[in-house]
Amino acid sequence: MIVQTIMFYIFAALAVAAGVLVISSRNPVHSVLFLIVAFFNAAGLFILIGAEFLAMILVIVYVGAVAVLFLFVVMMLDIDFAQLRTGFVRYLPIGALVGFVLLAELVLMICSWVVAPSMPSPAVSGGVPLTNTRALGDILYTRYLFAFQAAGLILLVAMIGAIVLTLRHRPDVRRQSIAAQLARTRAQSVEVISIPIGSGSR
């Protein structure tokens, strides 16, 4: 129990410090890297409370996809962050008000917590402890199988629609044609040139 408490304070302190560095760092690339550190520490907190599935999803989805996408956008696009920060002072009172409201909500929520006298025992299925991942899998692939597959189909259609809507065929851009490449013969691809000895090539 002492080890879990120590690990909680370590993960929590690192997550808070990384969050502060995300919004205070001048370099946007450093902000994304600190965001990844915050995600990893949040995953550690989820593991401490027994939510290993949420920790895995946080690392795979947010660190492996969202944060990498942020880093790609920041490094590849020419964004003038100095111009984006010009309105910081103007909108500071509104931001401070929103932050104060969120802080008040967090304080009210924390004050209403009640510590349970004893932790519930984990469920057991067939002599094996039922983990969160197995419980979610049993529910998704039995009771909600149709809804799960329908959600995946909707996301697939949305992805294909986004690709179709953003695809632009410009005549000045050369595109790869697999059929034309496979249809090429040896005579079209290779040319043998006989160069006399000592004449060189130009």
Sorted by where each begins, the domain ranges of the chain are: 1-80, 132-167
Residues 6+ away with beta carbon under 8 Å from 52: 46, 131, 132, 133
Cα 99 to Cα 15: distance, rounded to the nearest angstrom: 18
Cα 71 to Cα 65: distance, rounded to the nearest angstrom: 10
Residue 40 in contact with residue 17, Cβ under 8 Å?
no
120: pLDDT strictly greater than 60: no
Looking at residue 122, its pLDDT comes to 56
Does this model's pTM top 0.85?
no
What is the tens place of the pLDDT at every residue in 66-112? 877 777 777 776 666 666 666 667 777 888 898 889 888 878 877 77
Residue 29 in contact with residue 75, Cβ under 8 Å?
yes
Cα 48 to Cα 38: distance, rounded to the nearest angstrom: 15
Token digits of residue 162 = 């986004």
Instruction: Choose between 120 and 78: higher pLDDT.
Output: 78
115: pLDDT strictly greater than 90: no
Instruction: Choose between 123 and 69: higher pLDDT.
Output: 69
Q: What is the mean pLDDT of residues 163-178?
A: 77
| CATH code assigned to 1-80 | 1.20.120.1200
